Amino acid sequence: RAKENGKNTFHFYAAENNSHSVELLALENSLRRALERNEFVVHYQAKVDLQTQQIIGAEALLRWQHPELGLLSPIHFISLAEETGLIIDIGAWVMQESCKQARRWQTVSADIIRVAVNLSARQFREDGLKDVIADALEDSGLSAGCLELEITESMIMQNAERASDVLQHFRDLGAHVLIDDFGTGYSSLSYLKQFPIDALKIDRSFVRDIPHDADDMAITSAVIAMAKSLNMRVVAEGVETASQLKFLASKGCDQMQGFIFSEPISSDDFYDLLKSVNVARRLNSKMIQDAQ
Ligand code: C2E
Ligand code: MG
Ligand code: MG
Ligand code: MG
């Protein structure tokens, strides 16, 4: 197993390797301190509904404002947080912060704006998760219908019985469940259908090479068609170009997320974006109606 891994990644089983352990410990300590020092920030990336062309919500994406290294993407620290268990506290903080910000956005838009929070495998296994979510909703005053939870196929497959219970709890609350990175795991739609799931997010790797890769296009349109027949919404992630947008729209994709609309931005910037885009559009359509 060790052989397969690149030299530059951390190996948690390589405790006998001293330099690694020391480095790891230092990183673990700074990750622990980051929470106390408020070095984590959440950025938000717009989700756009194709039918209405409105922003209907945003995905919360964690960043670490590192004092020396600058703004770090979660790919650099999420797996360490997961291995050390720090993800439990970090995840609870992300949930609190995201719900609080989403509650604030509701004031700028007459539409309901949702926030989507990514859950990690460890969080999903913890008994405390239900309370973390209940507390975040209560403290923020956000309604559960405005909360989306993004999980992966493997989190369900690791313990299907438990996943059933947790997902049903989310459904009963009124929150929405999305399968993130769909297509990269080994589950099938017919298997996932047994669980209370609202939507699939087609992984960016299938979107990236549209319209050049015929296989990716075939897979994408098949997934959209099957999801729709099972009454699941479909969200495409990583949409960057007009031709990707056009293709996905022609296949009936419901929502999109990607740099073509917006990169992940601060909550304040997202608030301004909502104000300028959604309000302007509503004013425009009202002006059009009035003119007719
Ligand atoms: P994800 O949930 O699949 O999030 C989508 C990733 O794609 C984000 O990367 C986003 O910035 C990036 N992205 C969005 N649109 C585009 C595009 O058009 N082009 C390209 N090239 N990239 C795009 P990011 O923010 O680096 O996050 C990486 C992963 O880290 C996330 O993947 C998610 O699995 C994880 N993550 C992020 N925030 C959290 C969190 O709060 N908790 C947990 N457990 N995991 C998180
Ligand atoms: Mg996600
Ligand atoms: Mg994803
Ligand atoms: Mg992804």
For the segment 76-93, what is each residue's pLDDT rounded down to a tens digit?
A: 999 999 999 999 999 999
Tell me how far the alpha carbon of residue 203 lies from the centroid of ligand 4, in angstroms: 6
Pick the residue with more confidence: 28 or 126? 126
pTM value?
0.90
Question: Using one digit for the tens of pLDDT, what is the confidence trace for 258-281?
Answer: 999 999 999 999 999 998 877 666
Q: Which ligand is nearest to the CA of 238?
A: 1
* DSSP notation for the chain: -GGGS-TTS--TT-TT-HHHHHHHHHHHHHHHHHHHTT-EEEEEEEEEETTT--EEEEEEEEEEEETTTEEE-GGGTHHHHHHHSTHHHHHHHHHHHHHHHHHHHTTT-SS--EEEEE--HHHHH-TTHHHHHHHHHHHHT--GGGEEEEEEHHHHHHTHHHHHHHHHHHHHHT-EEEEEEETSSS--HHHHTTS---EEEE-HHHHTTTTT-HHHHHHHHHHHHHHHHTT-EEEE----SHHHHHHHHHTT--EE-STTT---B-HHHHHHHHIIIIIHHHHHHHHHHHH-
Tell me how far the alpha carbon of residue 187 lies from the centroid of ligand 2, in angstroms: 18
Instruction: Identify the residue whose C-alpha is closest to ligand 1 atom 7.
Output: 238
Instruction: Identify the residue whose C-alpha is closest to ligand 1 atom 16.
Output: 238
The answer, yes or no, to whether any atom of ligand 1 lies below 6 A from the CB of 155, is: no
Confidence at residue 1, expressed as pLDDT on a 0 to 100 scale: 33
Tell me how far the alpha carbon of residue 152 lies from the centroid of ligand 2, in angstroms: 9
Instruction: Identify the residue whose C-alpha is closest to ligand 1 atom 45.
Output: 118
